[in-house]
Structure 1
Amino acid sequence: MLSLLSKSSAFFTKRPLLSNVISTGFLFGSGDFLAQSFFSPEEKYDIYRTLRAVSYGSIVFAPIGFRWYKLLGSIQFPARSFKSDRAKVTLNTVARVAVDQLVFAPFIGIPLYYTCMALFERKEHPFEEVTSKLNKHWAPTLWSNWSIWPVFQFFNFYLVPLHLRLLMVNLFSIGWNCYLSYRLNIKHAPLLASEQDVDPENQVML
């Protein structure tokens, strides 16, 4: 096991972009596989849906995520601003988490996912499909994101070397990708009762 981790770390160090393209595509596909297996087991498995998830992870998210984490790694306050190394690391980490969660998540990561996945479906009216998915899913997904990711990202930025941070995100994201895939493909019942639409005149759940 230690040997495997050592080889993986060496590969991510030597070929960071390629390794992230491969791992991100695989893990997005794994998330969709779990979503189909656990949340719609009665339906026929949709291999094209999984391939869309793999394509998004490899072609879109991996290169963007790779560069984004390099950018976050460059965010740091001047060394003279701190009395100790621990204070420096802690405040730099807080700043990186804040930028990640207040900039990337709401304005890049979540909109990009729903936009690309809607376009990958090649519907007859792609603009309307993208608009519909963003209107329906952006806010609930963002609130779910903020309920789990800030804590994880703090420890990720604080403890994990730069070249392995996207891998850690992707491993943690297996469950998150499962949620995204389920949310993206939900057709009838909403994920949470609080997300149901209500007829304001009749007060009847739709």
Structure 2
Amino acid sequence: MAGLWRGYQRLLAAHPWKVQIITAGSLMGVGDVISQQLVERRGVQGHSVERTLKMMGVGLCFVGPVVGSWYNVLDRLVPGSTKSVALKKMLLDQGGFAPCFLGCFLTIVSTLNGLSKEEIWTKLKRDYKDALITNYYIWPAVQIANFYFIPLYHRLAVVQCVAIVWNSYLSWKANKA
């Protein structure tokens, strides 16, 4: 395990942006597999590989780049690593970024699932508030720790590791009929 971590560190140092995005995409896929197998109990025969690939694509093309860029912006907006800086970053993250990000995420997945504009709007009205409230149970404490203890270039990976459970929830929520 230590060897894997060292290898990841070397790759991250050499190619930080690519590695962060690939990590986000991979862990979105893991979250979807967990959602399909442990939450929805689809079994191997009922597993939708297409859905897992879509979720990985959303991780690679949306989650990784957007969250990675957000952390860079946030670090420039609120420089430092004190407890009060971590709290300010968390408040900006959870008060401004998370609501927008979640709405975009649900819209993107719904669009990839072929829903019409009306169906997407209905889904957002039905699922957005519940997903945002669930977000607030999980992420404020995680983000304070992330902003206080974790260097910028590891934040996306740390969040995505914690987010395996969150990604499972989001995959279930976004793909629920």
TM surpasses 0.5: yes
- 1:17 maps to which residue? 17
Q: Is the 8 A contact 1:76 1:92 kept in 2?
A: yes
Structure number with greater Rg is: 1
Matched pairs, number:
175
Q: Distance in 1 between matches of 2:19 and 2:138?
A: 25
- Percent identity between matched residues is 28
Gaps of 5+ in 1: 80-87, 188-206
SS of alignment partner, residue 119 of structure 1: helix
Q: Is the 8 A contact 1:21 1:63 kept in 2?
A: yes
Gaps of 5+ in 2: none
SS of alignment partner, residue 113 of structure 1: helix
**TM-score when normalising by structure 2:** 0.92
Q: Is the 8 A contact 1:156 1:165 kept in 2?
A: yes
The structure whose residues are more often helix, as a share, is: 2
Alignment partner for residue 167 of structure 1, among 148, 157, 177? 157
Give the root-mean-square deviation of aligned CA atoms. 1.6
- 2:29 maps to which residue? 29
- 1:106 maps to which residue? 99
Please tell me whether residue 147 in structure 1 is matched to residue 137 in structure 2.
yes
Q: Distance in 2 between matches of 1:10 and 1:96?
A: 28
Q: Is the 8 A contact 1:9 1:164 kept in 2?
A: no
Q: Is the 8 A contact 1:75 1:92 kept in 2?
A: no
Range with greater deviation from structure 2 (41-50 or 130-139): 41-50
1:98-140 Cα shifts (integer Å, max 9, x gaps): 0000001112x101111100111124xx211221221111100
Q: Distance in 2 between matches of 1:20 and 1:58?
A: 9
Q: Distance in 2 between matches of 1:34 and 1:3?
A: 25
